[in-house]
């Protein structure tokens, strides 16, 4: 690391361990704190593993006479275009009762601490809500001849032609979408977060289900029944492979719900640390589920220790299927290309930050745990990424 011309003027930390061995076989500043970016999702992933079974709890409900009162668990899968079909949809569609939605268990703000206020229009910063619908975003897809479509079609009446817009630009505080003449080029798509509210949740549900869903603000202190929505691994895999921030944030709310807490990220994190992560080497400065916040701070040796806990929790074949795979899937599709994949990891990227933590399989078949963190660089991220690839590939070949 000290001899690298690429990494010489930045902050770098690395921790490499043999599987099931707490002693590092290589380390450099692994006790220093770094901004983890989306490596934070490893902590959310482990929290989910500790709280959830094979399926995601998608909805809680109370049958009260001829009324059905529902509340969200934080599950993001309902009508999400990139996740499997949710059984919650079938449950709601088949009910003949009058349905009321209560958001009273939601105690979160729409954005996490330290998120960029100007990123509200960017796909990676969808708002947090108690029961997301359609992933809390609108998807615009180019169809050629200067035409595009929006899904759900609910948003078709909220479009405004605007020659000053670049692509699709939502107004900051309301769901009016300004679009240029071209909108979205043919064959491409743009996901734009929508400004969520409890009123919008019931409107979207009512429009899709073709039945009226009403909003009611009442606490429910009785024992509720649950509907499970999708396989847990389908949520984990998309979150980890493409680094989906919205899924990670909602996963921490699901964790809260599963542990009898209000839907509150801060309380979920406190609970997860106290009950599942108190044995990690260094105290965690953990502020959100996704890693969008620069307030998060972890050490490489702590992430390496967490990876060991994850490995102990999940069978290897299943775990490697969930992680991004070098040369094959997600954010590592174009890196670590080899006849046989040897990197299974989680990337983490923000401006001037590139982190990579996960599992490395050596030429001799050994499995190594590693956390490689790079902060405060001024070079192009691509150069840092290539240097990380060069160093880890060298370790793969040597051992």
At 247-280, the pLDDT tens digits run 999 999 999 999 999 999 999 999 999 999 999 9
Can you tell me the distance from the alpha carbon of 72 to that of 262, in angstroms, rounded to the nearest whole number?
11
Q: What confidence tier does 1 reach under pLDDT thresholds 50, 70, 90?
A: low
SS3 385: helix
The number of beta carbons lying within 10 Å of the beta carbon of residue 6 is 17
Q: What confidence tier does 223 reach under pLDDT thresholds 50, 70, 90?
A: confident
Residue 311 above 80 pLDDT?
yes
Pick from 357, 355, 321: which is nearest to 341 by CA?
Answer: 321
Query: Percent of the chain beyond pLDDT 70?
Result: 99
Verdict on whether the full-model pTM lies above 0.85: yes
Can you tell me the distance from the alpha carbon of 348 to that of 37, in angstroms, rounded to the nearest whole number?
5
The mean of the pLDDT values for the chain is 95
Mean pLDDT, residues 78-95: 97
Can you tell me the distance from the alpha carbon of 159 to that of 200, in angstroms, rounded to the nearest whole number?
17
Residue 180 above 80 pLDDT?
yes
Q: For 107-157, how does the pLDDT look when each residue is reduced to its tens digit (9 = 90+)?
A: 999 999 999 999 999 999 999 999 999 999 999 999 877 689 999 999 999
Six-digit token string for 244: 């989906």
Answer for the pair 354, 348: CB distance below 8 angstroms, yes or no: yes
Q: For 15-61, how does the pLDDT look when each residue is reduced to its tens digit (9 = 90+)?
A: 999 999 888 899 999 999 999 999 999 999 999 999 999 999 999 99
Distance of CA 200 to the CA centre of its chain: 22
Instruction: List, in order of start, the domains of the chain with CATH numbers.
Output: 11-52+235-398 (3.40.710.10), 56-140+190-230 (no CATH), 141-189 (no CATH)
Q: Is the peptide bond before 336 cis (omega within 30 degrees of 0)?
A: no
The number of beta carbons lying within 10 Å of the beta carbon of residue 225 is 9
Edge-to-edge strands of the sheet including 225-231? 213-215, 98-101, 67-72, 55-64, 225-231
């Amino acid at each position: 690391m000290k001899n690298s011309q690429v990494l010489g003027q930045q902050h770098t930390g690395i921790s490499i361990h043999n599987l099931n061995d707490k002693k590092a076989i290589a380390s450099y500043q692994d006790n220093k704190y770094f901004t983890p970016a989306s490596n934070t999702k490893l902590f959310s992933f482990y929290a989910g593993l500790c709280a959830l079974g094979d399926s995601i709890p998608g909805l809680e409900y109370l049958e009260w006479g001829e009324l059905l009162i529902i509340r969200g668990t934080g599950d993001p899968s309902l009508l999400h275009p990139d996740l499997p079909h949710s059984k919650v949809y079938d449950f709601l569609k088949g009910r003949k009762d009058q349905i009321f939605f209560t958001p009273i268990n939601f105690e979160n703000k729409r954005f996490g601490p330290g998120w960029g206020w100007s990123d509200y229009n960017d796909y990676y910063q969808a708002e947090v809500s108690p029961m997301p619908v359609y992933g809390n975003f609108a998807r615009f897809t180019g169809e050629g001849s200067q035409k595009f479509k929006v899904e759900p079609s609910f948003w078709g009446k909220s479009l405004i032609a605007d020659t000053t817009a670049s692509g699709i630009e939502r107004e900051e505080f309301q769901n009016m979408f300004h679009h240029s003449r071209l909108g979205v080029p043919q064959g491409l798509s743009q996901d734009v977060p929508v400004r969520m509210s409890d009123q919008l949740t019931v409107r979207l549900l009512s429009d899709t289900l073709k039945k009226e869903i009403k909003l009611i603000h009442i606490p429910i202190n009785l024992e509720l029944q649950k509907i499970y929505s999708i396989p847990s691994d389908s949520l984990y895999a998309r979150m980890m492979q493409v680094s989906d921030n919205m899924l990670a944030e909602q996963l921490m709310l699901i964790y809260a719900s599963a542990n009898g807490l209000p839907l509150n990220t801060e309380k979920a994190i406190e609970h997860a640390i106290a009950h599942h992560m108190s044995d990690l080497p260094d105290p965690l400065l953990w502020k959100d589920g996704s890693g969008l916040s620069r307030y998060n701070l972890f050490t490489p040796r702590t992430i390496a220790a967490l990876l060991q806990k994850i490995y102990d929790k999940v069978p290897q074949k299943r775990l490697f299927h969930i992680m991004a795979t070098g040369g094959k899937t997600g954010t590592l599709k174009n890196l670590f290309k080899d006849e046989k994949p040897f990197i299974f990891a989680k990337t983490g990227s923000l401006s001037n930050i590139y982190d990579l933590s996960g599992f490395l399989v050596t030429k001799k078949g050994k499995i190594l745990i590693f956390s490689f963190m790079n902060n405060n660089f001024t070079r192009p991220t691509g150069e840092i990424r290539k240097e990380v690839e060069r160093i880890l590939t060298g370790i793969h070949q040597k051992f």
